[in-house]
Amino acid sequence: MTLGAHLAPRARSHIEQADVVFVAVSDPLVELWVQQMNRDVRSLQPLYREGKPRTDTYREMVDVMLAEVRAGSTVCGAFYGHPGVFAQAPHRAVAQARREGFDAVMEPGISAEDCLYADLGIDPGETGCQHYEASQLMFYQRRIDTSAYLVVWQPGVAGDRGYRRFSTPAAYRQVLVDLLAEDYPLDHECTVYEAATSPLQSPRIETLALRDLPAASLAAHSTLVLPPATPLRRNEALLARLALLDDAAR
Ligand code: SAM
């Protein structure tokens, strides 16, 4: 995620030892950093295009990586954050390689989620924490637990039914706000969060009322965080059952 900081030793060794490294990272400078670790680093960034379905982009990423694997190369895909968090291509590439009888592993990394816990001072164990992709939250009927944190990924492309835009306009975000307003008051505080991708930057932590979200500036790398709106409620029936078990065990 952050240039010069977030790369575990084993992931670095995979990058250094691969014959070919395919890279899809958070920042052009991070891409330059990876280029210094291997002589054959190929960017996956040109596969993204406004108007092209991201599902096509992800399929092409898997295809180019697997083509090199089939040709006999040791291949590393270097994806920013955690390669398996809100990221389809790395999971698919690993699964496809294994289906074809090749060894494939995924190294965990430091995701936007990990950064936000540190930067926003959130412990997900305190009240629980639910994570949804913004469009999926809008397209499907979900039950939001307002006594836990809610983290909404990809709010900058909320409501993009074709998964082909780089951003969606305010009217789409208003639909997201209307949905969230079924569970949260419109003055509920939410945070637009962007982890720093370079050690010279500070994270963006902007707190605003839910009603103001449509007018907020949201980037492709923004994440939205809503703190709990309601207290935890005790499950008295279940606690009573457990008390009976405790009594029986005495
Ligand atoms: N694999 C990545 C990870 O582990 O963080 C996530 C990739 S997902 C396709 C893209 C989404 O991740 C963004 O829309 C945003 O919600 C989140 N994200 C990516 N970079 C971020 C950053 N610098 N700060 C906060 N959230 C970020």
CA count, 13 A, side-chain hemisphere, 175: 17
Residues with Cβ within 8 Å of residue 149, at least 6 apart in sequence: 122, 124, 127, 128, 129, 130, 225, 226, 227, 228
pLDDT at 163: 87
Q: Which atom of ligand 1 is nearest to the CA of 84?
A: 1
What's the token pair of residue 65? 């990586």
Q: Distances from the Cα of 183 to the Cαs of 22, 152, 159, 226, in angstroms?
A: 42, 14, 18, 11
In a mutational test of the pocket of ligand 1, which residue from 45, 86, 225 has the highest number of ligand atoms less than 8 Å from its CB? 86
Residue-wise pLDDT tens digits, 85-117: 999 999 999 999 999 999 999 999 999 999 999
Predicted pLDDT of residue 178: 98
Q: If you ran DSSP here, which 8-state letter would residue 213 be given?
A: G
- pLDDT (0 to 100) of residue 23: 97
Question: What is the chain's percent helix, strand, coil content, to nearest 5?
Answer: 40, 15, 45
Distance 222 CA to ligand 1 centre (A): 7
Which residues, judged by CB distance below 6 Å to any ligand atom, belong to the binding site of ligand 1?
A: 26, 80-82, 85-87, 111-112, 153-154, 193-195, 197, 220-221, 223
Residue 170 is encoded by which pair of tokens? 């305010």
Per-residue model confidence (pLDDT) at position 27: 85
User: Which pairing describes strands 20-24 and 75-79: parallel, antiparallel, or unpaired?
Assistant: parallel
Atom number, ligand 1, closest to the C-alpha of residue 197? 23
For atom 18 of ligand 1, which residue has the closest CA? 221
Q: What is the DSSP string of 32-89?
A: HHHHTT-S-EEESGGG--TTS-HHHHHHHHHHHHHHHHHTT--EEEEESS-TTSS-HH
**Model confidence, pTM:** 0.95
pLDDT of residue 26: 78
Pairing of strands 129-133, 41-43: unpaired
What pLDDT shows up at residue 116?
A: 98
The list of the chain residues with pLDDT below 70 reads none
Q: Measured in whole angstroms, how far is the alpha carbon of residue 65 from the centre of its chain?
A: 21
Instruction: For ligand 1, atom 8, name the residue with the nearest CA.
Output: 86
Query: Do 199 and 205 contact (CB within 8 A), yes or no?
Result: no
Residue nearest to atom 25 of ligand 1 (CA): 194
Cα separation, 22 vs 1, in Å, equals: 16
